[in-house]
Homo-oligomer: A and B are copies of this chain.
Amino acid sequence: MRVTVSRKAHFNAAHRLYRADWDDAKNESTFGKCSNEYFHGHNYELIVHVTGEINPETGYVMDMKVLRDLIKSEVEDAFDHKNLNVQVPEFKNLIPTAENIVVVIYNKLRPHLETQQDLEVVLYETPRNFVKYNGK
């Protein structure tokens, strides 16, 4: 009897999409306005899904307060009000596209969950654009 518990969170950050090994024209044609050298930013909305067995003693798959605090320490404290390109080590050599950010978040959270639990992460970059990763 596996149930999924889900928690929403958010953080605000600046980023730009570009490759230093490409010239401006190629960056512009690939990433458009997102390659703006002075950065732009987003309110990232995050949904973390954890699937596991219900503990019959507590009726919890996982205490939501523990999940909330895990998201805070691993994601919000690391990304919120930051410039992802400049201030977040994982993106020193990785373009901070929504796809790459969601994989980074998954990899930061995964070690803190039990082996039998499944993890899926959804990240909204804007209300109309979002991505999802579950480690498969």
Q: Select A10's contact among B1, B96, B127, beta carbons within 8 Å.
A: B127
- The interface residues of chain A, by DSSP majority, are classed as mixed
* A interface residues, tally (CB under 8 Å): 63
In the complex, what residues of B have CB within 8 A of residue A128's CB? 7-9
**In the bound complex, how far is the Cα of B20 from the Cα of A15, in angstroms?**
23
How many copies of this chain are found per oligomer?
6
Closest to A95 in B: B59
Q: Taking A1-B103, A58-B97, A59-B94 as contacts, is the C-beta distance between A41 and B41 under 8 angstroms?
A: yes
Contact B17 A59 (CB under 8 A): yes
In the complex, what residues of B have CB within 8 A of residue A70's CB? none
Q: Check: A115 CB closer than 8 A to any chain B CB.
A: no
Q: Taking A14-B14, A40-B41, A99-B60 as contacts, is the C-beta distance between A4 and B131 under 8 angstroms?
A: yes
Mask, A101-125, CB within 8 Å of B = 1, is 0110000000000000000000000
**In the bound complex, how far is the Cα of B59 from the Cα of A99, in angstroms?**
7
**Partner-B contacts on A (CB < 8 A):** 1-10, 12-15, 17, 19, 30-34, 36, 38-43, 45, 49, 54, 57-61, 63-65, 80-83, 86-87, 94-100, 102-103, 126-133, 136
Given contacts A3-B99, A5-B129, A15-B41, 18 further A-B contacts (CB under 8 A): A4-B132, A4-B133, A5-B98, A5-B99, A5-B130, A6-B132, A8-B129, A13-B40, A13-B41, A33-B80, A34-B81, A40-B41, A40-B80, A40-B81, A41-B42, A59-B95, A59-B99, A59-B100
